A and B are shown apart, each in its own frame.
Chain A
Amino acid sequence: MKKSKWLNAGNFIFRSPGEIVLKMKLTSLLIFAGIIQAIALNGYSQSTKLTMEFRNISVVDALRAIEDQSEYYFVYNKDAIDLERKVNLNAKDLSVEEILKNLFKETNVSYRMVDRHIILSTLQAEQFTLKVTGKVTDSSGAPLPGVTVVVKGTSNGIITNVDGSYLLSNVPSDAILVFSFVGMKSQEIKTEGKTLVNVTLEEETIGIEEVVAIGYGVARKKDLTGAVASVRLEDSPREVLPNVNVLDALKGQMPGFDVGASTNAGGNPSINIRGQNSIKASNTPLVVVDGVVYVGSFNELNPSDIASVDVLKDASSAAVYGSRAANGVILVTTKRGKTSKPTVRLRATGGIQTYTNRPDMLDPEGYIQIKKDVKSLNGGSAADLELQNLLTIYEYNAYNAGNIIDWFDEVTRIAPIQDYQLSISGNGEKLNYYVSGQLLDQEGVVYGDQFEKYSVNSKIESTITDWLKLTVNLSAISKNADGVAADLRNATINAPYSWKYVQTPGFENVMERYPQGQTTTQNPFWRTQQYNEDRNQNYRSLFSARVDAPWVKGLSYTFNYSLNRWEGHSANFYDERYYMDTMKEADLKDQTKFLKDANGNVSNSYRTDWFLNHLINFNRVIKDHSIGVTLLAERQKQLTRSSTVTAKDFSLAGTTVLGVNALEKGKVENRGVDTGYSQLTQLAYMARINYVFKQRYHLSSSIRYDGYSGFAEGNKYGSFFSVAGAWTMSEESFAKDNLPFLDYLKVRASYGENGNPSIGQYSTFPSIGSGSYIFGNSTVSTTSASKLANKALKWEKTGALNFGADFSIFRDLFSGNIEYYNSNTTNLLFDRAIPIMNGFSNVSDNIGKVNNWGIEFQLNSKNIKTPDFTWSSGINFWMNRNKVVSLYGLDGNNDGIEDDDISSNIFIGKSLGAIYTYTFDGIIQMDDAEYMAIYGGNPGDVRFKDINRDGKITAAGDRSIVGYSKPNFTMTLSNTLTYRNMELYFLFNWIAGSGENGYYTGDNLYANNPSTLYGGGVANWLDKEYWMPDHPSNKIPRPNWTNSLGYQFPSRRDFVRLQDVSFSYIFPKHILGGTPVENMKVFLAAKNLLTFSKWDGYDPETGSQHAADTFPVMKSVIVGVDISF
């Protein structure tokens, strides 16, 4: 053991460079910084002189005063030292040692300085003592050298050696060991007579000391060269928000990372990092959980199991993931055990959810009026307008009976949500474990929408020997989203005069299928009667072994193997009742004739993924040089098998009572089988080197070589590289001397290339599809080409430049970062539009170039910090500009400018998401005779601008770009306020639109055209004024207008939303005293409480229109309790 070398050390560190080889790259950097600081402090204690004057204050206040004026803090046993003793302190330019000598004269208190700690202890009789040994590691399992280990309340301490191990003598059997290290949270552990105490230190999460995941390893944020955004969820105020999905928890937290809104129970919001690179290929980032590429759905991750999430935004950081990283990489790190004592934590929340916005429909009188208006515009006679002719029999009866239904209210509900989480974790001598279970039961806002999840997750890390460490993660997740939700479209448009249940005597308990007595509008609940199963189970495992080569210092080998099994089960059954027409008494009485139509299906699919990699790490520090090398070989395979059986016509069986469990009762000729099989393989090799000189100059570079089975021979491989550098300017003496307010400043520059596999497996084959036809009474099969194949398909490549700066000023009062990026994506996979004469209207190709640039800005401030009250804020701002640089490179009209692809809605030099349409110019009024003479049409029609002034409104001449679906910019503002044991957190989210370019515009046909979805003719419409001869609107056309050009009424959808609010109360220890409970927190939290927008639809963020058969965005409020013991 080399402990003595470390203990005796002062200047030992540079004495024998060849032997001082540090273990992991992270560790190397940490210890390097730590030791330098320790050395600096020795000088500090001599040179620092304090001046203070206090009269009659307690010892504890005196110590606090010293802590405030210096970088020291005190470690002591409060039972041993009389803290309340009143003292006078009168110091003028005295060193800390002198002050302390003064303070504790005539007491038995002695002190000793270790690192920045000053350990106070009482001289006491030597009692029964032990030698304690152990090893200190970081959260990744790497040994931590340089950690201060002190027996609490004494001056007895030591520093861990290069292996992270320590040996401490004279430790009382009931001692408490205090482990502290810069950048890590201090930890106290009771020895309880043990002689071996292993500890894992957690990274501290404040500012730039934070340790972040960087892909195949971790790094201190200080040492990053790329743009990595991090969110720590563990112990943050966001932890208590009603985030069913981990993405909800990240929303608005990281500039450049867009997360959409959740609308249904268990739903996965959309995600996007730094704009739209791809046109057709996926824009979804790669997700890596605990080092393994994640193939599941986000809703399978339990937000409470997640410690932190790091997003690799720029191409250089993402480049270690090469071919799959073009859209950024999300690294999820799960929680680990922390204390040697097992900790049981229980979190229970319950709450309610509702919609953010509802359509404001015409009232019953309004419904009758719009029907009259439509009828009269269609040339109806006076008799047509009489109520008994105007309304259907059902409506007329409902009118006479005064039966009015608000269908939207009927199908929506204040939906309950419950979430229970239990975890047991601990950090033993050789074992770190974290085991958790979750039970989530969520109902959606729309009737019939529900989600249930059970999950068990365990993570066990064991140190077998000092060179071998094994990790096993196992988890099982079961999800259930059975049932079909009610139809919100019909719930919106159905007339108020209608019936929910059948009116025929004797059948009053049967649901009415056609509430208005006609088949166009249906009962929104009708489809909820179908039998539906939607379940899946997911079993994940990860096995990881790490070997530290015993004879080459700094070299380690890690093997990861992950095996996942996913099973999906779905089943549907429509029995004969589903097909009856409830308007017919004969059908109500007897549905057996529909046994012919009754049908069902059962589908099972299995997916097995395995993933393995070999990682070699080598880290070494030579004087001012720190070098880290990572080598990787990786393989991945996915096998999917599926089978579906269908059956129809149960008339021979005579019953469907067995339903989906006995599909064999269906008619033989109408049974169907469909089996599927596919596989996908990927492999990669990667090398990365990191180099740091004098803690100021950082360089890193990586290269990765990828293979992907989905491409045809000759195109399977691609290589991707990156290079990045950073300069910590604040470490330079000129900065230290001239900019005293500057705590930290680092500038970064990077360039990297990444790929996007862009196509799924088998995409390059000219596949032949099949179907059926009949001749006479025989079924025959048909085959036909499914697509034009293209063997030349290859990777999309994104090359991106990033400039960034991280800063902290005025002792961390303000800190943050600013980023600029500029990326070009080439070889875009695109289903390019081709004229249908080719047989298909598109063909997949890699073509063209898209540019994205953007600015991101993050500012955190600690506005107020007093012992009782703190207030901190965070502002995030990001904007992205997108441009199609080129497409096919064709210039068919020879005007010297590349041709747009109008049929695909892509325009050279313009952003993707362009809205290319006619220009709305009001409504044709009765006296617009001149317009109608030229362009045709009738009063009440939409009037369009004749842009090319050729006297016709044509698709060829009068369309132009009127806006873009992309936002102008996004901004979030969060505030955290704490007062004693209370904490309040809230976040506003603003997605800005408009600008002269019409950003954040969405089609909004329903809210602007009453005849959409039969409005006025058959169904109800919104309570808005539409054009009629006697009230000539200039915004909304007549209710029987034919939208022959398919105009979609683009509208702005920018909004401001109070997205998150949470309030928590932590019970003080003295209240909990005497109970086994160690910590207890209660909280109240809400999401999407307020939304401000001009958008007239379900929600501006999703852009969904009223009467769409989708779900509204949820607003939720929960209460919860978090207990640990």
Chain B
Amino acid sequence: MDMKKIIYVFALSLLGIFSCDDDAFLRETPDDFLTVDNSFLNAAQFRAGLNHFYAIARQNYNFRDNPDDFFQFGSGTDLFFRPTGDQLPFTDWSYINPTTDIYRVVFGRHWGLLYNVNLLLEQTENPLVRWNSETEKLEAQAEARFFRGYVYRYLGFMFGGVPVLEKAVAEPSLGYTRNTRQEVYEFAAKDLEFAANNLPTSVSEPGRVVKAAAYHYLAEMYIALGDESKNKAYYQKAIDAASMIIDQKVGEYHLMTQRHGWRKNIAGKDAFWDLFQMRSTSGFSNFSYQTGNKESIWVIQVDKFLTGGLNDGLTTRTDQERVFWPSFWSFQKFGWGNVARDWTGRGIGWLRPTNYFSYDLWNKSGAGDMRNSETNINRIFRSPDPIINGVEVPNYDITYTTTVTLANGTTIEVKTKPGDIIKKEWLTTRQDTMERAFPRIMKLGSDWHYAQEPANGFVMEFYAIRMAETYLIRAEAYMKNGDNTKAAADINVVRARSSAIPVLPAQVNIDYILDERARELVGEEFRTMTLCRLGLLYDRTKRFGYGPSSLTVLPKNNLCPIPQSVIDANSQAVFEQNPGW
């Protein structure tokens, strides 16, 4: 007995144990998800990849339920501020710094988008792809490059020069350096030119980008290039690009001067008001080119009831009304009882228009402007009808009694009936004037709500590009090109629709254009981005901003800070911070 026997038994048992195929046992195949290798092989798959870009762009409009997230609509600038205290971020610019989270969010969002755009572009050249036609492939590339232009437009305008990346990152780098702002603009312009040439003129799906959208951004980008390079030739290119739209070479675009849409028969309203009506319960959109709104160039799609209709994580509503509208419904006086009604919406006044917007802007441009009518900017607040048994009862005879401490300290009893105007002198608390009763920009909300539910029943589309802006872009290009007459003519097309008195060529300057943009595009355009593009955020805020904003804004605010996390992570090269931060 003996080692021999033992070894024999061992060997035998080992044989039994080792005989299976280890490699086959450990092989791994992705069974319930797709990978890059099988995700881009036909047009339908590319379509899904392209759709993602739209979903990301939508996040710029409505992402997290946080007041800072709406900074790009102009928080802390000449148009808006956060009103609940004077020492809040943006209202007080000294509370803004490179760790302010929203910069990380928006900066990161666009680089994430860029990665997917570049990945998809790369895959369009994969020989395994079954394209139906060369046009199909070119259109897919054009749509992708539109979004690459969109990314660099956003980053270049907001943050200045950033790295220009033409390919999806294969090997991650920690050593990025910044290209110049001009290089970024040139790169974006190239993409937008390709998109303008190869996108379809029209599409059946509302919300998909078309040639006109590319030309619009291209015009704006040429202006930025002209400003940055001091090469005036770009202004003419800008004029030409905008003219493609205005001259109807890429679609039947025109301003909507007549009543239109599914609520066009509602009396007392106007064509401007019709532009901003929520989608009907049956799904009719006033925002769509496809349903007859020829002013509409690119619309961010939302819907309360469709899967994919709202951003992930914010599944009940969009936020325009909540952010921009005052919370007059939450008065606890003059008959109001802190209950939002279907027709009041449920604003909470996260952003309040500055006095410059509310008053000076309109005084400067003369009376009779439809956009400043009570229909479009509600400035009069009244005692409401009572709610009895949960229902608002009209024509009910009731008198509300409110004790009011006037500014001079005296106390009076105010008696009002439904419909009576609430007088300004009765609104003596800071909360009254800052949060509850300020001019209500009607296009940013709705007088009716899905399921009569004022909070979560509000879901409204966003214009990313509306033709009125195309005119103002071209006006800016004409002005910068030295042709104030044509600039004034373009501005007056926009003003004429609102029955505003025409501007004279001599009055046209960048301030006038910015004022006009505010009158026309408030709450639609990314005001902060426009001001950063022009390098005027500091100047305009200093002159027209809310007191604390005006006192704290600094020239460095003309660009957003590079997020600190980017500088920290880019350890193998210095990623320059913007000046002054």
B89-97, B137-145, B510-518 - interface stretch:
B89-97
Mark interface residues in A378-413 (1 if CB within 8 Å of B CB, else 0): 111111101011001110100000000000000000
B210-218, B237-245, B447-455, B467-475 - interface stretch:
B447-455
Q: A783 near B34 (CB under 8 angstroms)?
A: yes
Taking a contact as CB atoms closer than 8 A, the residue among B5, B308, B575 that contacts A772 in the complex is B308
A839 to B575, CA, bound (A): 16
Q: Which residues of B contact A841 (CB under 8 A)?
A: 108, 565, 569
**Interface hits, A479-509 → B, CB 8 Å:** none
Q: How far is the CB of B26 from chain A (nearest CB, A)?
A: 4
Q: How far is the CB of B555 from chain A (nearest CB, A)?
A: 15
- Judge whether B354 is part of the interface by a CB distance below 8 angstroms: no
Q: A552 near B306 (CB under 8 angstroms)?
A: no
Binding site for B on A (CB under 8 A): 18, 375, 377-384, 386, 388-389, 392-394, 396, 517-519, 549, 551-553, 555, 557, 579, 581, 583-590, 593-594, 596-597, 614, 616, 618, 631, 633, 635, 649, 669-670, 672, 675-679, 681-683, 685, 707-710, 712, 716, 761-762, 765-785, 788-789, 833-841, 843, 888, 890, 892, 899, 901-903, 936-938, 954-956, 1017, 1040-1042, 1044-1046
Q: A555-B6, A762-B33 are in contact. Are A836 and B107 (CB under 8 A)?
A: yes
**Interface hits, B377-397 → A, CB 8 Å:** 387, 389-391
Q: How far is the CB of B187 from chain A (nearest CB, A)?
A: 14
Q: B305 near A389 (CB under 8 angstroms)?
A: no
Closest CB pairs A-B (n = 6): A839-B115, A772-B308, A585-B390, A586-B390, A775-B205, A633-B17
Q: Which residues of B contact A676 (CB under 8 A)?
A: 32
Q: A555-B6, A954-B98 are in contact. Are A779 and B305 (CB under 8 A)?
A: no
Some 18 contacts from A to B, beta carbons below 8 A apart, are: A375-B431, A378-B430, A588-B390, A631-B13, A677-B32, A683-B22, A683-B25, A772-B55, A782-B51, A785-B119, A834-B174, A837-B176, A839-B168, A892-B175, A954-B97, A955-B98, A1040-B87, A1044-B95
B41-49, B192-200, B368-376, B477-485 - interface stretch:
B41-49
A594 to B207, CA, bound (A): 29
Q: B97 near A389 (CB under 8 angstroms)?
A: no
Q: A584-B390, A766-B36 are in contact. Are A903 and B338 (CB under 8 A)?
A: no
Q: B338 near A517 (CB under 8 angstroms)?
A: yes
**Interface hits, B232-275 → A, CB 8 Å:** none
Please give 5 more A-B residue pairs, beta carbons under 8 A apart, in addition to A380-B431, A774-B306, A956-B98. A378-B430, A389-B431, A631-B13, A778-B306, A835-B176
Q: How far is the CB of A462 from chain B (nearest CB, A)?
A: 24
A375 to B27, CA, bound (A): 65
Q: A585-B389, A775-B207 are in contact. Are A1042 and B303 (CB under 8 A)?
A: no
Q: How far is the CB of A895 from chain B (nearest CB, A)?
A: 12
Q: Which residues of B contact A388 (CB under 8 A)?
A: 332, 403
- Judge whether B116 is part of the interface by a CB distance below 8 angstroms: yes
Q: A679 near B31 (CB under 8 angstroms)?
A: yes
A379 to B86, CA, bound (A): 8
Q: B89 near A1044 (CB under 8 angstroms)?
A: yes
B282-290, B497-505, B523-531 - interface stretch:
B282-290
- Judge whether B363 is part of the interface by a CB distance below 8 angstroms: no
Q: A380-B431, A768-B39, A776-B207 are in contact. Are A716 and B26 (CB under 8 A)?
A: yes
Q: How far is the CB of A701 from chain B (nearest CB, A)?
A: 17
- Judge whether B99 is part of the interface by a CB distance below 8 angstroms: yes
Q: A936 near B51 (CB under 8 angstroms)?
A: no
Q: A685 near B564 (CB under 8 angstroms)?
A: no
Q: Which residues of B contact A389 (CB under 8 A)?
A: 332, 429, 431
Taking a contact as CB atoms closer than 8 A, the residue among A579, A782, A788, A899 that contacts B55 in the complex is A782
Q: Which residues of B contact A768 (CB under 8 A)?
A: 33-36, 39
Q: B172 near A788 (CB under 8 angstroms)?
A: yes
Residue among B114, B169, B288, B429 with the highest chain A CB neighbour number at 10 A: B429
Q: B312 near A765 (CB under 8 angstroms)?
A: no
Taking a contact as CB atoms closer than 8 A, the residue among A587, A594, A762, A771 that contacts B52 in the complex is A771
- Judge whether B301 is part of the interface by a CB distance below 8 angstroms: yes
Q: A1042 near B89 (CB under 8 angstroms)?
A: yes
Closest to B452 in A: A593
Q: How far is the CB of B428 from chain A (nearest CB, A)?
A: 4
A722 to B536, CA, bound (A): 68
Interface residues in B, total, Cβ within 8 A: 125
Q: How far is the CB of A498 from chain B (nearest CB, A)?
A: 14
A988 to B330, CA, bound (A): 54
Q: Which residues of A contact B107 (CB under 8 A)?
A: 836
A783 to B39, CA, bound (A): 8
Taking a contact as CB atoms closer than 8 A, the residue among A683, A840, A1042 that contacts B112 in the complex is A840
- Judge whether B496 is part of the interface by a CB distance below 8 angstroms: no
Closest to A843 in B: B172
A378 to B429, CA, bound (A): 11
Q: A773 near B55 (CB under 8 angstroms)?
A: yes
Q: B51 near A583 (CB under 8 angstroms)?
A: no
Q: Which residues of A contact B14 (CB under 8 A)?
A: 631, 633
Q: B206 near A597 (CB under 8 angstroms)?
A: no
Q: How far is the CB of A126 from chain B (nearest CB, A)?
A: 43
Q: How far is the CB of B340 from chain A (nearest CB, A)?
A: 8
A448 to B303, CA, bound (A): 35
- Judge whether B419 is part of the interface by a CB distance below 8 angstroms: no
Q: A766-B35, A773-B55 are in contact. Are A833 and B9 (CB under 8 A)?
A: no
- Judge whether B409 is part of the interface by a CB distance below 8 angstroms: yes
- Judge whether B535 is part of the interface by a CB distance below 8 angstroms: no
- Judge whether B100 is part of the interface by a CB distance below 8 angstroms: yes
- Judge whether B571 is part of the interface by a CB distance below 8 angstroms: yes
A784 to B59, CA, bound (A): 15
Closest to A640 in B: B32
Q: B429 near A379 (CB under 8 angstroms)?
A: no
Taking a contact as CB atoms closer than 8 A, the residue among A517, A762, A839 that contacts B114 in the complex is A839
Q: Which residues of B contact A1041 (CB under 8 A)?
A: 87
- Judge whether B162 is part of the interface by a CB distance below 8 angstroms: yes
**Interface hits, B8-24 → A, CB 8 Å:** 9-10, 13-14, 16-18, 20, 22-23
Closest to A953 in B: B97
Taking a contact as CB atoms closer than 8 A, the residue among A381, A597, A678, A890 that contacts B32 in the complex is A678
A843 to B172, CA, bound (A): 8
- Judge whether B456 is part of the interface by a CB distance below 8 angstroms: yes
Q: Which residues of B contact A769 (CB under 8 A)?
A: 33
Q: How far is the CB of A250 from chain B (nearest CB, A)?
A: 34
Q: A517-B338, A593-B451, A770-B48 are in contact. Are A378 and B85 (CB under 8 A)?
A: yes
Taking a contact as CB atoms closer than 8 A, the residue among A393, A616, A669, A785 that contacts B116 in the complex is A785
Q: How far is the CB of A915 from chain B (nearest CB, A)?
A: 16
Q: A585 near B35 (CB under 8 angstroms)?
A: no
Q: How far is the CB of B495 from chain A (nearest CB, A)?
A: 31
A188 to B436, CA, bound (A): 87
